[in-house]
Amino acid sequence: MSHELLNSVAATTIHRDRDELDRAVGRLLLQFLELHSVTVLRLSDEGEIIRIVHCAREQPGEVGPVCTAATSTLPALADFPAWRECALRNEVVQCNGADGRPMTVFPIHGAREGASHGLLVIEAASPLAPRETDLVQGILGILRNHLALLDYGELDSLTGLLNRKTLESHFDKLRQRIESLQRSHPDRGASTAGEPSWLALIDIDRFKSINDGYGHLFGDEVLLLVSQLMKRSFRGADQLFRFGGEEFVVLLDRASEPGAQIVLERLRATIGEYAFPQVGQVTISVGYTRVDWRDVSTTCVERADAALYYAKSHGRNNVQNCEALIAAGAITAKCNDGDVELF
C-alpha cells in the first residue's frame, strides 16, 4: 500500500491548477479510505465575517465538479459550529453531520503558521481511526508544502495578491462558467442568465509623484496598504490581482450592475478616506466592464482601460462603467470581426 500511496501522492501534486488539485486530493483519500464523501472548503476573511467557499466535493464512483457558490452571498463559517471550532483551534474535530453520519473536519494550513487556509470535511460510515487520521494529516502536510510552492509562483511578492500572469487562466475559468450558464439558458439572453460578472481596472492616482516625493519605500507601503484595503472591501469569491506597477485588476463574479458600481465606489471612498503614513491622502480611479462569454482577457482589459482613461481624464478619483459610457456617447465602440475596439 505504501508504494501505491506514494505514487498517488506524486500524481496528485503534479497539478498546478488549484481546482484540479482540490479534486485530486479528494480522489486520493477515497482511493485509500472507505469514505462517503470528501469536501474541500476555502475560508475567506471578509473583515468581521469569515465565509466559506466550496471548492470541490468527491464521492465514490462520482466525478465531483467544483462546488462554486450559487449566488453572490457565501455562507458564514459561524453557521457551522464544528467547522468554526476546527478553524479557530487549528485542530481536527470529530462530530456528526446533519444526517447523523460521522464527520471529521481537518484544518488546511496556509503558508503562514497558525492560520487555517481552508477545511477538509470527511464523511464516513464510522469515525476515522487514529491511523486514518494520521494518514489524512500527512497528506495535508504534503499539500501545504505544494500550496506554498504554488503561492510563490502565483502571488505578487509585495501585496500578496494574485500576479498578472495568473489573470488569463482565472479569467478563462470565469468565462467558461458564464458560457456554460448562457448555453443552459439560450432563451433568456445574456442579460438575464444569472448575475453578471465584471472586470475592473484600478489605478492609484499620481503614484509617480508619491515615489518621487517620498521615495520608493513609502510608495511600496502605499501599494501594500491599498491591497489590504481591497481585500477587506471585496468578497471571497472575487479575485484580486496586481496587474503591474500601481495598477490592479478585480474579477467581480455574480454581481448586479448597481452592485458592482456600489462596491467599487465603496473601495474608492475607503481609500480616499484612509490616512496613509507620511503620504496622507491617496485616491484611485476605476474603469470596469461586463465580462461576456465570448471575451478574451485582453479585450476585456482594453474595455476597462478605456473607461479608466476616461476616469483619469475627467478629474480622477472616480469610477466609470465602460458600457454606460458607450451608451451615453462618451466613448465609442467599433466592431471589427467580432472584436471590440475602443478609441
Catalytically active residues are: 246
Q: State the cell numbers at 306.
A: 478605456
From CA 223, how far away is CA 191, in angstroms rounded?
35
- Secondary structure (3-state) at 316: coil
Strand 284-290 vs strand 37-46: parallel, antiparallel, or unpaired?
A: unpaired
Q: Contact 79/87 with Cβ under 8 angstroms?
A: no
How many residues can be counted in the chain?
Answer: 343
Positive or negative CA dihedral for 129, 130, 134, 135?
Answer: negative
- Percent of the chain as helix, strand, coil, to the nearest 5: 45, 25, 30
Residue carrying the nine cell digits 470529530: 94
- Secondary structure (3-state) at 24: helix
From CA 290, how far away is CA 306, in angstroms rounded?
13
- DSSP secondary-structure letter at 165? G
From CA 96, how far away is CA 102, in angstroms rounded?
4
Contacts of 113 (CB under 8 A, 6+ apart): none
> What Å distances lie between residue 93 and 1, 81, 106, 191, CA to CA?
27, 10, 7, 44
Q: Contact 40/26 with Cβ under 8 angstroms?
A: yes
Strand 198-204 vs strand 239-244: parallel, antiparallel, or unpaired?
A: unpaired
- Secondary structure (3-state) at 74: coil
